């Protein structure tokens, strides 16, 4: 394995370790300052999107989509479609060195990392990804994800005309869903100050972003106003209709649960919150739970009583 190939494989292993340790949302500091190869620091992403560290000589290592920030549009608005990620050129010159680098990665089938910005300082990583098409008219590259286990001893994908396209399309669809879910989670948790709206538990590992209108509903978009930051206990209670939240943001516990006698967890975890207004809501009015969504969800809860 040549040096470039070894660096790429080591990067994938490092990202595996970060995800095992921290989950899907990875910190900028870990991606920009912590990875080392042969005693030398190798950053994994840069501020300009398409990034090639000095340690690599064969082409770029990663492409990054900046996180959304309120009131500040992203410089390059990437798109997704079924089985493809459409990544915008750097600028409008197809011959910009960064664009030439991605074109070279496409022709050489070089595996890359795609970093999707979740919120400021937090990114989700998809890897390996491959540039599969170039559209100079739209100033866009098309990218697909693949399975790292399919990599051969060198990090280049054994190109199988019969199976690679279908496999990559499926994996890219799954990857897109994972990135959307993670973006929704991080944005909701930031809006709620990294704590449960019901009990104010603030351990990130124990928090979820709950949909008010479920994501299988066409209206159940992954936007903050359709979300609630809930700890895992209250998320499960909300999803299973043990707990409802009225449009005036008051919590109700199902009547039969209130009558149960099943120890301190039931008392303090659920019963104690009956009739209590949510302890935390977003400061921005546009990010607070939509009243019509809460009303619809609360009506479903009432039917279980």
Domain ranges of the chain: 3-188, 193-303
Question: Hey, what are 114's tokens?
Answer: 């795609």
pLDDT in tens, 50-107: 999 999 999 999 999 988 765 554 444 455 566 899 999 999 999 999 999 999 999 9
- State the Rg of the chain over Cα: 22
Give residue 3's pLDDT band: very low, low, confident or very high (50, 70, 90).
very high
Whether the pTM exceeds 0.85: the reply is: no
Which residues on adjacent β-strands are paired with residue 253? 243
| 6 SS3 class | helix
Given a cut of 80, is residue 150 above it in pLDDT? no
Q: Which of 59-63, 215-219, 234-238 has the lowest mean pLDDT?
A: 215-219
What's phi and psi for 114, nearest 5 deg? -110, 120
Cα distance between residue 101 and residue 246, in whole Å: 53
Distances (CA, A) of 51 to 36, 59, 101, 136: 16, 9, 9, 20
What's phi and psi for 228, nearest 5 deg? -140, 135
Q: Which of 94, 99, 85, 121 is nearest to 52 (CA)?
A: 99
Give residue 217's pLDDT band: very low, low, confident or very high (50, 70, 90).
confident
């Amino acid at each position: 394995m040549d040096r470039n190939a070894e660096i790429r494989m080591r990067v994938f292993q490092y990202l595996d370790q970060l995800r095992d340790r921290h989950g899907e949302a990875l910190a900028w500091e870990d991606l920009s300052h912590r990875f080392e190869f042969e005693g030398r620091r190798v950053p994994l992403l840069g501020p300009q999107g398409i990034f090639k560290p000095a340690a690599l000589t064969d082409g770029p290592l990663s492409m990054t989509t900046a996180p959304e920030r309120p009131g500040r549009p992203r410089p390059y608005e990437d798109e997704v479609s079924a089985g493809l990620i459409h990544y915008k050129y750097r600028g409008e010159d197809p011959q910009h060195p960064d664009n030439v680098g991605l074109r070279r990665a496409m022709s050489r089938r070089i595996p890359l990392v795609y970093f999707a910005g979740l919120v400021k300082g937090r990114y989700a990583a998809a890897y390996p990804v491959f540039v599969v098409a170039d559209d100079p008219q739209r100033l866009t590259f098309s990218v697909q994800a693949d399975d790292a286990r399919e990599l051969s001893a060198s990090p280049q994908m054994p190109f199988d005309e019969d199976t690679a396209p279908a496999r990559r399309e499926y994996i890219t669809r799954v990857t897109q869903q994972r990135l959307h879910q993670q973006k929704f989670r991080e944005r909701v948790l930031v809006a709620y100050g990294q704590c449960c709206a019901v009990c104010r538990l603030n351990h990130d590992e124990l928090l979820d972003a709950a949909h008010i209108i479920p994501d299988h509903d066409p209206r159940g978009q992954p936007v903050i106003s359709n979300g609630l930051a809930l700890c895992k206990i209250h998320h499960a209670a909300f999803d299973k209709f043990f707990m409802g939240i009225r449009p005036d943001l008051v919590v109700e516990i199902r009547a039969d649960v209130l009558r149960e006698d099943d120890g301190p967890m039931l008392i303090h975890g659920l019963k104690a919150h009956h009739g209590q207004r949510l302890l935390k809501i977003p400061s921005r009015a546009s990010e607070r739970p939509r009243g019509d969504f809460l009303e619809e969800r609360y009506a479903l809860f009432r039917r279980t009583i």
